[in-house]
Amino acid sequence: MTAGGARSRPLTASTDLAHGGRWTSLRTPEREWLWRNPRVPAAARAAVRPGDAFVDAGGGEECFPTVVGTPDHGDAWSRPWTRTRGGATVDAGGLTLARRLDVVDGAVRARYRVGAPAGVGLLHAVHLLLDLSPAARLVVPGEPAVVVSDWPRPGRDTATVWPDGGGVPLDRLGADDRTARCAVVATSAVDVVDGEDRLRLRWRLLSGRAPLSLVVWRNLGGWPDRAPYRSVGVEPLLGAATDRARADPDRLARCDGGAGLAWELVVSAQRGRTAAPNT
C-alpha cells in the first residue's frame, strides 16, 4: 500500500529478441499498458529486416543510435538481438547496445550499456507506445523546458515549457483533434495516469556523459497525412534530441572511454482512487 491508499501493482514485461528486442507486453494483473497498432499485422512486423522502413506496430521499440533521421527509429529496432548470460545485445550501425531486464519488488528495471568509441555522439529512446483512454494525463515535475520538433514546420523546432506542445497540451490527451506533436522534455520522471491506474517511469545515468530527457509523441489523429490514426508515445531518452545528425553536440550522449555509458529505467505501477491526483 502506498501513501494515500493507492496500491502498488506487480508489473511484468515481455520482449521479442528476434525482432529488434521489441517490448511486446508491459502489464499488471488489471491491464496491458502497451498499445498495438490494429492496422499492422503481426506478420508485417516480423518480416522486417535491417534497412527496412519503420513499421509502426506498437509495443516498445529500442531506438538507437537515433530516434528519427537516418535510419528512421535507428538501427537496433530492425535487427535480431543476441541473448547473453545477463540479458541481450545488438550491434547497430557499428555501435552496441546491451540490455538487462529484471523485475525488482514488482517493478520492471531495464539496465542499458552502450558500446561506442570515446566521444561518439548518439541517442537512445525506449519508444513505449501506450494504450490510454482520452482521459489519461502525463504528470511531470515542475515546468521543465520543452522543444517541439518540426513545429511549426518541418526542420523548425519550437522552444517552450511544459506542458505546452506548440499550442496543444502535452499533459492531456482528450479526443482526437487532428494534431500530432513530437516533443523533447527536460525531465527524467513521468507518471502516466489513466483513471485509477498510474504507471511511474524514472530513469537515471549510471556512467558516462549524457543529458536525460523524455520524448512525448502525442498523435491524436494528426499523422500520417494520408491515413491518420491515434498513438501516444512516452519515451525515456538518453540524450536531449530526436535526430542525431541535427542535434547540437551537447544534446547527445557520449562514451567517455573509461567507465563507459550506462543508464537505467525503472517502471512501476499503482492502482487506486488516489492514483490520479491533480499534481
Specify whether the CB–CB gap between 9 and 30 falls below 8 A: yes
pLDDT digits (tens, 9 = 90+) for 202-252: 999 999 889 999 999 999 999 999 999 999 999 999 999 999 999 999 999
> 196 has which bridge partners?
none
Specify whether the CB–CB gap between 233 and 213 falls below 8 A: no
pLDDT of residue 278: 43
> 26 has which bridge partners?
13
> pTM for the full model?
0.95
CATH number for the domain including 152?
A: 2.70.98.10
Specify whether the CB–CB gap between 59 and 22 falls below 8 A: yes
Query: Which of helix, strand or coil describes residue 224?
Result: coil
Is pLDDT of 9 > 60?
A: yes
State the distance between the two ends of the chain, measured CA to CA, in whole angstroms: 20
Average pLDDT over residues 57-76: 96
Specify whether the CB–CB gap between 104 and 202 falls below 8 A: no
In the chain, the percentage of residues whose pLDDT exceeds 70 is 95
Is pLDDT of 276 > 60?
A: no
Specify whether the CB–CB gap between 86 and 112 falls below 8 A: no
Specify whether the CB–CB gap between 126 and 60 falls below 8 A: yes
Q: How many domains does the chain have?
A: 1
Among 42-56, 84-98, 227-241, 245-259, the minimum mean pLDDT is found in 245-259
pLDDT of residue 176: 97
Domain range enclosing 247: 3-275
Query: Average model confidence (pLDDT) for the chain?
Result: 94
Is pLDDT of 1 > 60?
A: no
DSSP code for 143: -
Distance CA 27, CA 131 (A): 11
pLDDT digits (tens, 9 = 90+) for 185-199: 999 999 999 999 999
Taking alpha carbons only, the member of 124, 79, 132 closest to residue 215 is 124
